[in-house]
Chain A
């Protein structure tokens, strides 16, 4: 852990709000720290109480299975006291503003607040009104930095490196914070990023993202090392933007036939939750030779431990 001695070199000395601003060395250092936790989490005794006595509040304004659970496990395995707050039980449902909620929680002197919020920029607004560390657990369609980091760890463990890889991100780029964080991270780490989506699921000026664009999935997937599928929010998208699930799967669902166009050892990833038969076929999702979807979940705990350690560990 000596490489963490120079902690001030990190782009997020206090908070982790996004991948934007992180240098390749910062990202690599996070991944290195997380590697140690991967092994530790596979042991019977998973506790490593370096953050004993500190308090973590998980403040989730949106539903979550993976992110909230893994942040909770990460905190507890590091010895923290972890509180989970959801909107339904908070004063926000009584009309309190986000800033008032932030200042109220801040007064209880937590060491860290993990925030997920449906509006882009809300996590930064909250961070500006508290004294503790804030970790972005996903804000609107903006960023989801711990997802990008856990994806990077998954890729690095499978492929050895990120540099030089061709990564296809496919699906609802328009609304995806996972895509935005991953694009920033992958490009910083020297990977080539392709975006595959119908034009109505791309943001207004996709060329400004610095990626290769493909409307045709078969062309976009050809020769790729990594295929990251994104969840189609069927409850919001089918109808106004996507004619039908049948049509979406026909053109943009990852099935055996399309997967065969990628490199023979191409890895299939998905941030979850997956919609079987919408953006990914069940046989592909469940193929342990090709699918890293559950590896991503495992790496999620280790990455979040690494982030907590880097942000909160007091120098000895």
Chain B
């Protein structure tokens, strides 16, 4: 059984916790030693190999990590918590509980709620609900355009002052190049990224899966790779023109990965994230899992999946993010054409990433964890993702060798729409610490 506790957010410095016998890993600095870590209130007070040699500080609670990996709390910088507006699919409470169960201590929500997050009042509502009901740090993007209509910019300055971490119109990408130029220009001044769900809506034209051999076989309408890559190419040119910071959400095609690689080589402020399903599954999965493998961008061909892995390995892709998209069964148990796009991902991100990237020996543990800690933190410029003195006491304790057969029905998320049903994975978060308190504990 698992134990969940909501953080109190306001621990006093005399609330001390000593984590002993831990394999401390800080991906940014490269630290990888067996030692201890002390939190004081909601901050990390000290860490290192011998910090408890003189004894545990008086009054500190002791947690024996049994040699497991204690790393910075994971980030997932693309989630949908459906509140306000679709609370039957997910709420900030259930979504953040799902995050805690997956070892994720900070999330960035997408703004396609109902109403959309294009006004400071909606942003303030989400922050209030996160404070009252959340298990982890809940941050959020705001819309680029009013009503996500792609025409007029939102009050970006006021939204950043209210705490927006960046801007995106999510599933309704900005098609008007002039609006995109202005968004990148304005956000440059504000020091936040413009993130794009890169899709030319005219090219995807109502498609429901990848355009390729499988769509041909199944008689389903396809979404070509070019629908993603033409927008990424355009946006990179606009980022160069404006000097703005551009982030590609859930990159899915080999062509787009190559564009980002070249943009980085030219020194542009361009970053990208990839979702676990895009580096582990292909459109072949659609035959077996049908609507539970329908998401946007769609699962692509094997060459694209391999290109995503390659992009993660060489650093072209900075971050892993899940695009956690909860949907009730009624949205999925319909024909492929009209089923909702999206799958949940918070509770499977770490196990899938460790299994497919680390245990498969494609990437080092440090690099896999980097893509879920300081690198995504730097994309949205939040103070997170690092084990160091004075940093927030947000940590994840990972049992690298814990075998787990994924059972979506046991997810904390309100929705169970995952293609990873009965998939076996190795490695799992066994304790999640937010603001100096354990919010999730997986009991053996």
Q: Is B52 an interface residue (CB 8 A)?
A: no
Q: Is A243 an interface residue (CB 8 A)?
A: yes
Q: Say yes or no: A199 contacts B186, CB within 8 Å.
A: yes
Q: Is B185 an interface residue (CB 8 A)?
A: yes
Q: How far is the CA of A246 from the CA of B157 in the complex (A)?
A: 10
Chain A, residues 240-278, CB within 8 Å of chain B (1/0): the string is: 110110110011000000000000000000000000000
Partner of B155, one of A199, A241, A246: A246
Q: Say yes or no: B155 contacts A243, CB within 8 Å.
A: yes
Given A241-B182, A243-B152, A199 and B189 contact (CB-CB distance below 8 Å): yes
Point out the residues of chain A lying under 8 angstroms from B157, CB to CB. Answer: 243, 247, 250-251
Q: Is A61 an interface residue (CB 8 A)?
A: no
Q: How far is the CA of A126 from the CA of B154 in the complex (A)?
A: 42
- Residues of B147-164 whose CB lies within 8 A of A: 151-158
Interface size of A as a range: 10 to 19
Q: Is A239 an interface residue (CB 8 A)?
A: yes
Q: Is B188 an interface residue (CB 8 A)?
A: yes
- Residues of A130-146 whose CB lies within 8 A of B: none
Q: How far is the CA of A93 from the CA of B119 in the complex (A)?
A: 44
Q: Say yes or no: B188 contacts A244, CB within 8 Å.
A: no
Chain B, residues 179-191, CB within 8 Å of chain A (1/0): the string is: 1001001101100
Q: Say yes or no: B182 contacts A247, CB within 8 Å.
A: no
Q: Is A215 an interface residue (CB 8 A)?
A: yes
Q: How far is the CA of A241 from the CA of B154 in the complex (A)?
A: 10
Q: Is A234 an interface residue (CB 8 A)?
A: no
Q: Is A198 an interface residue (CB 8 A)?
A: yes
Point out the residues of chain B lying under 8 angstroms from A240, CB to CB. Answer: 152, 178-179, 182
Q: How far is the CA of A301 from the CA of B189 in the complex (A)?
A: 40
Interface of B is mostly: helix
Q: Is A119 an interface residue (CB 8 A)?
A: no
Chain B, residues 313-327, CB within 8 Å of chain A (1/0): the string is: 000000000000000
Q: Which residue of A lies closest to B146 (CB)?
A: A243
Point out the residues of chain B lying under 8 angstroms from A250, CB to CB. Answer: 157-158
Q: Which residue of A lies closest to B152 (CB)?
A: A239
Q: Say yes or no: A247 contacts B155, CB within 8 Å.
A: yes
Q: How far is the CA of A199 from the CA of B190 in the complex (A)?
A: 10
Point out the residues of chain A lying under 8 angstroms from B189, CB to CB. Answer: 198-199, 215
Q: Say yes or no: B188 contacts A243, CB within 8 Å.
A: no
Interface size on B, residues (CB 8 A): 17
- Residues of A1-29 whose CB lies within 8 A of B: none
Q: Is A63 an interface residue (CB 8 A)?
A: no
Point out the residues of chain B lying under 8 angstroms from A241, CB to CB. Answer: 153, 182
Q: How far is the CA of A96 from the CA of B358 in the complex (A)?
A: 75
- Residues of A22-69 whose CB lies within 8 A of B: none
Q: How far is the CA of A244 from the CA of B145 in the complex (A)?
A: 12
Point out the residues of chain B lying under 8 angstroms from A198, CB to CB. Answer: 186, 189
Min Cβ gap A170→B in Å is 15
Q: Say yes or no: A243 contacts B156, CB within 8 Å.
A: yes
Q: How far is the CA of A198 from the CA of B242 in the complex (A)?
A: 13
Point out the residues of chain A lying under 8 angstroms from B146, CB to CB. Answer: 243
Q: How far is the CA of A198 from the CA of B183 in the complex (A)?
A: 12
Q: How far is the CA of A244 from the CA of B156 in the complex (A)?
A: 10
Q: Which residue of A lies closest to B151 (CB)?
A: A239
Among B153, B154, B179, residue most surrounded by chain A Cβ atoms (within 10 Å)? B153
Q: Is A104 an interface residue (CB 8 A)?
A: no
Min Cβ gap B65→A in Å is 46
Q: How far is the CA of A241 from the CA of B155 in the complex (A)?
A: 11
Min Cβ gap A268→B in Å is 23
Point out the residues of chain B lying under 8 angstroms from A199, CB to CB. Answer: 185-186, 188-189, 242
Chain A, residues 196-232, CB within 8 Å of chain B (1/0): the string is: 0011100000000000000100000000000000000
Q: Say yes or no: B154 contacts A243, CB within 8 Å.
A: yes
Point out the residues of chain B lying under 8 angstroms from A200, CB to CB. Answer: 182, 185-186
Partner of B153, one of A215, A243, A246: A243
Point out the residues of chain A lying under 8 angstroms from B156, CB to CB. Answer: 243, 247
- Residues of A179-202 whose CB lies within 8 A of B: 198-200
Given A198-B189, A199-B188, A244 and B155 contact (CB-CB distance below 8 Å): yes
Point out the residues of chain A lying under 8 angstroms from B179, CB to CB. Answer: 240
Min Cβ gap B40→A in Å is 35
Among A200, A215, A243, A251, residue most surrounded by chain B Cβ atoms (within 10 Å)? A243
Q: Say yes or no: A246 contacts B186, CB within 8 Å.
A: no
Q: How far is the CA of A241 from the CA of B185 in the complex (A)?
A: 10
Point out the residues of chain B lying under 8 angstroms from A239, CB to CB. Answer: 151-152
Q: How far is the CA of A244 from the CA of B119 in the complex (A)?
A: 11
Min Cβ gap A190→B in Å is 30
Q: How far is the CA of A240 from the CA of B150 in the complex (A)?
A: 11
Chain A residues near B (Cβ < 8 Å): 198-200, 215, 239-241, 243-244, 246-247, 250-251
- 13 A-B pairs, CB-CB below 8 angstroms? A199-B185, A200-B182, A239-B151, A239-B152, A240-B152, A240-B182, A243-B146, A243-B153, A243-B156, A244-B155, A246-B155, A247-B156, A247-B157
The 4 closest A-B pairs by CB, nearest first: A247-B155, A243-B155, A215-B189, A239-B152
Contacts A200-B182, A240-B152, A243-B152 supplied; 14 other A-B pairs, CB < 8 Å? A198-B186, A199-B185, A199-B186, A200-B185, A200-B186, A239-B152, A243-B146, A243-B155, A243-B156, A247-B155, A247-B156, A250-B157, A250-B158, A251-B157
